[in-house]
Structure 1
Amino acid sequence: MKKKSSPFANLFLIIIFLILYAPIFYLIFYSFNSGGTMSGFDGFTLDWYQELFQDTRLFIIVLNTIVVALLSALISTIIGVFGAIAIRSFKKKQQNTLLSLNNVLIVSPDVIIGASFLILFTIAGFRLGFYSVLLSHIAFSVPIVVLMVLPKLYEMSPSLLDAARDLGANNWQVLTKVILPYITPGVFAGFFMALTYSLDDFAVTFFVTGNGFSTLSVEIYSMARQGISLNINALSTILFLATILLVVIYYFITQRSGTRGVNFRK
């Protein structure tokens, strides 16, 4: 028997979503304001978007952000997958120790992580810029991928690996033909989570970015400090729509993976 949700619970849920999304829709609404301020809507215009697309410097910053996000997500996914497989191979006590160390990086404040990387790169004489941002994003994305992949590894029965080895499969074949196909949903989840975290990060990036290199989060912060401009609204609207697109893509990928899994079991 399915329990019916109470009207109070539905009302509470609606209020929570309104609180979360009202500022975003408010920002999107005023991105089409011809008045140039957020104090009153004077008329509909696309001038702010046109001005945004004509900004060559901002276009380069967008490319920097996307390249860093894709590279960090890809590299951290590869490292995280092999890290999760390595953790799964240890005994229970050692697994708990490694997972605790992994979780410390997730719960640590971004300010501490950013300051730590800044000190590390400064001591090592490493020039701040693209590579410092990339390495930092990889570092805080790997633990996220590990947490996404490990549950799928725990679900996998050891008998699958034993059966593959009994049939003559070597270690590489066991990895590519058995383990990776089974944990594919977790791998995609880890990749998209790492991609989202990289696109969204500000604190760590703010510490490790250098002169001549910037990302969208740092640029929006700099633009906001100079005064409220509806360019920020237009840029934020595009980012919000891009995020929704990523969520939809991830949803369809997980749905397809789940459907294939059901058909396989049948």
Structure 2
Amino acid sequence: MKKKMKLSAVYLAIIFLILYAPIFYLMFYSFNSGGTMYRFEGFTLNWYRELFDDTRLLIIVLNTVIIALLSAAISTILGVAGALAIYYARRQRVKNTLLSLNNVLIVSPDVIIGASFLILFTIIGIKLGFVSVLFAHIAFSVPIVVIMVLPKIEEMSTSMIYAALDLGASRWDVLTKVILPYITPGIFAGFFMALTYSLDDFAVTFFVTGNGFTTLSVEIYSLARRGVSLNINALSTLLFIFTMILVIGYYFITKRNNRPAGLGVKK
């Protein structure tokens, strides 16, 4: 038994090494004064200074954050509504159909989704830019929120709802004071997942961006095509740190929400 546990631990260590070694390699060379990723010549912060002196890149960062926050907030609202609609569907066949359609959007290739949105926006006359990117990010984030919220709704006891109705609560009160507080961990999980998906997305965004507007993922791709620059390393390092902060924040939020009600109360 112990031998199997050691083998599994070694296996996990190798997997994590394969996944994280390139990231730490990239972060390490973001401090290289030599300007290349072949030999480390000395420690410097010049690449970070150049990064923050690049006004155009800072505007792109701001665009990316705004798109991510807006799409995550809107998709969370729509996703919660969608999860409730699926859960309260009267017929099981309708419920299964809606859930299947939701799951199809998650597993569909990003290239197909991006090309479909490009065709759609071209046909209906939406100019490619901020609006088209926002709509696309909302569309692929909503199914993710539904998947995160629906299990929390399904594990909620219906007796809580019936008890609230018997005590005279309106349906709005049941929704806002019973259902939503109970599924709050799922809502936070859906929001953070939608936020990270929006920040990381490249394939869909690449199709729906227009002249004069772009996001970080597309900009990093275009910079990398011009040649290796340690500005990319510095930018990627900051993005990785920001993502880790989001993950840690989500961990503490869920830990706090899952804490027993009586914990920490002084008698």
Provide structure 1 residue ranges, at least 5 long, that are not aligned to the other structure.
Answer: none
Structure 1 residue 4, shift from structure 2 partner: 8.3
Q: Which residue pairs with 2:97 in the alignment?
A: 97
Does structure 1 residue 49 correspond to structure 2 residue 48? yes
Distance in 1 between residues matched to 2:2 and 2:177, nearest whole Å: 42
Q: Which residue pairs with 2:206 in the alignment?
A: 206
Structure 1 residue 93, shift from structure 2 partner: 2.1
Does structure 1 residue 110 correspond to structure 2 residue 72? no
Distance in 2 between residues matched to 1:180 and 1:114, nearest whole Å: 33
Q: Which residue pairs with 1:35 in the alignment?
A: 34
What amino acid maps onto 2:70 in structure 1? L
Q: Give the 5 Å matches for 1:134-213.
A: 134-213=134-213
Distance in 2 between residues matched to 1:150 and 1:109, nearest whole Å: 23
Structure 1 residue 159, shift from structure 2 partner: 1.0
Aligned residues: 263
Relative distance call for 1:55 and 1:121 in structure 2 (3 A) is: same
Secondary structure of 1:87's match?
Answer: helix
Which string of whole-angstrom CA distances, capped at 9 and with x for unpartnered residues, describes residues 12-36 of structure 1? 1111110000000000000000000
Relative distance call for 1:259 and 1:46 in structure 2 (3 A) is: same
Provide structure 2 residue ranges, at least 5 long, that are not aligned to the other structure.
Answer: none
- What TM-score does the superposition give when structure 2 sets the normalisation length? 0.96
Structure 1 residue 262, shift from structure 2 partner: 6.9
Distance in 2 between residues matched to 1:142 and 1:262, nearest whole Å: 35
Distance in 2 between residues matched to 1:36 and 1:176, nearest whole Å: 55
Q: Which residue pairs with 1:60 in the alignment?
A: 59
Once the two structures are aligned, what percentage of the paired residues are identical? 73
Structure 1 residue 9, shift from structure 2 partner: 1.2
What amino acid maps onto 1:211 in structure 2? N
Q: Which residue pairs with 2:230 in the alignment?
A: 230
What amino acid maps onto 2:24 in structure 1? F
Which string of whole-angstrom CA distances, capped at 9 and with x for unpartnered residues, describes residues 42-87 of structure 1? 1110000000000000000000000000000000000000110111
What amino acid maps onto 2:133 in structure 1? V
Structure 1 residue 8, shift from structure 2 partner: 1.2
Structure 1 residue 245, shift from structure 2 partner: 0.3
CA-atom RMSD, angstroms?
A: 1.5
- Which of structure 1's runs of 4+ aligned residues deviate more than 3 A? 2-5, 260-263
Distance in 1 between residues matched to 2:66 and 2:229, nearest whole Å: 26
Structure 1 residue 7, shift from structure 2 partner: 1.4
Which string of whole-angstrom CA distances, capped at 9 and with x for unpartnered residues, describes residues 165-201 of structure 1? 0000001100000000000000000000000000000
Distance in 2 between residues matched to 1:154 and 1:3, nearest whole Å: 38
Secondary structure of 1:69's match?
Answer: helix
